[in-house]
Structure formats: C-alpha cells, structure tokens
C-alpha cells in the first residue's frame, strides 16, 4: 500500500518537475543568452538523448546507493520519471549539498533533484520549479538528553552538512553553537 502511494506521489511530483524543467528552459535568467536561435534546455536534452540529473548518494529516503549498488530513493524515482517523460535516458551525477549549485552552473547537470530548499540567495543564481515537499531543520539527540529548544544548543557541538539550510541558519542565527561541518551524511555518521 505504501509503495503504491509513494509511486503515485512520485508520478505527480515528476510531472511537476518536468513542467518546471520545461519552464526553466523557456525562461530567462542572468546567465542565458538573448539569441532566439539557441535551443531550449529541453531541446538540447532530447537531442543528446540523455538528461544528467544530480542526486545525493547517501541520503535516504531521497537518494542513496543500496547494498546492491543500485541508486534508489524518492529523488531517483522522480529522476527516472522525468527522463521517461522526455523520452531520454537518465545519467545520475552524485552531488553533495555543498556542490549541487556549482554542478548546475558549470553545466555538469541539467537538473538537480537533491533535497534542495528554495532560499532567496539560491534563487539569485539558479531557477527553481515549484517545491514538491516541505522540509524543516531538526536536531537529533540522545533520548536522555532531549533538545526541545534551540537555546539548549548554546556551547554544544552540532554536526551539519556543508551547503545546507541548516548550516546557513546556525551560522547566521546561533553563533554560540559550535558547528562541525561535513560534506556528506556518510562523513557525519563516521565521525
């Protein structure tokens, strides 16, 4: 039952993401050329026969590599749906939170599906489709030392992923919290 619901949600989100991709290809940005002879992003992808999609490799349930070496997760299902709707193959490019904007701006990927929060700063450098989920910043702690208020973090060490909304929030708003910054969730778990 859960799997069917998950696939239906992925189908809906895939359609919205495809619409966003099409609209982003048609829109104008600071980096796009005004030459009307330039093919849209979608036309380039179709001509190439492959869409390059950035995904995480270590962030269940969004995107990770399972024990069999297969990419799985919500964003991976969505990526495959976008490729299918465009009639092209998908090439996954693994990114982390800190390099996903660079991958997009350097034309290494056509689309990022990697748990990407829309912020005013990010909107200045990349185009976003409509959000397909809501996320929030949370803190994990031992049950015996539950964190119920951000003030309890004063003077404590907090592990965050570089390039995330959490890193930005704590850097700007909670200067008394000692941040331990890592490139990926895997690195965080090994610490």
Other CB atoms within 10 Å distance of the CB of residue 117: 17
> CA–CA separation, 70 vs 73, rounded Å?
10
Residue range 77-131, pLDDT digits in tens: 999 999 999 999 999 999 998 899 999 999 999 999 988 888 888 899 988 888 8
Domain enclosing residue 80, as ranges: 2-26+39-123
Q: What number is the average pLDDT over the span 136-148?
A: 88
Q: Which of 95, 109, 133, 98 is nearest to 51 (CA)?
A: 109
> Do 151 and 77 reside in the same domain of the chain?
no
> Do 116 and 153 reside in the same domain of the chain?
no
CATH of the domain at 119: 3.40.190.10
Other CB atoms within 10 Å distance of the CB of residue 102: 13
Number of domains into which the chain is organized: 2
pLDDT of res. 117: 83
The pLDDT of residue 135 is above 90: no
> CA–CA separation, 16 vs 24, rounded Å?
12
Helix, strand or coil, per DSSP, at residue 88: coil
> Do 19 and 86 reside in the same domain of the chain?
yes
> Do 43 and 115 reside in the same domain of the chain?
yes
Last residue of a domain, one of 123, 157, 181: 123
Residue 167, in any domain of the structure? yes
Residue 61 preceded by cis peptide, ω within 30: yes
Residue range 14-50, pLDDT digits in tens: 444 443 443 344 333 444 433 344 456 899 999 999 9
pTM surpassing 0.85?
no
> Do 12 and 82 reside in the same domain of the chain?
yes
> Do 74 and 12 reside in the same domain of the chain?
yes
> Do 71 and 9 reside in the same domain of the chain?
yes
**Helix or strand run (H / E) with residue 134:** none
């Amino acid at each position: 039952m859960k799997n069917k619901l998950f696939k239906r949600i992925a189908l809906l989100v895939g359609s919205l993401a495809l619409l966003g991709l099409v609209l982003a290809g048609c829109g104008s940005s600071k980096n796009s050329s005004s030459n009307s002879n330039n093919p849209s992003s979608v036309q380039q992808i179709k001509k190439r026969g492959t869409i390059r999609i950035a995904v995480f490799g270590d962030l269940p349930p969004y995107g990770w590599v399972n024990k069999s070496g297969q990419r799985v997760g919500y964003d991976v299902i969505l990526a495959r749906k976008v490729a299918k709707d465009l009639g092209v193959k998908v090439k996954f490019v693994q990114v982390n939170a800190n390099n996903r904007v660079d991958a997009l701006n350097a034309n290494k990927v056509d689309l990022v599906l990697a748990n990407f929060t829309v912020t005013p700063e990010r909107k200045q450098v990349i185009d976003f489709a409509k959000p397909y989920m809501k996320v929030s910043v949370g803190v994990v702690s031992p049950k015996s030392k539950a964190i119920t208020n951000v003030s309890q973090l004063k003077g404590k060490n907090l592990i965050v992923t570089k390039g995330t909304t959490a890193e930005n929030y704590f850097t700007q708003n909670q200067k008394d919290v000692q941040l331990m910054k890592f490139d990926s969730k895997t690195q965080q778990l090994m610490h």
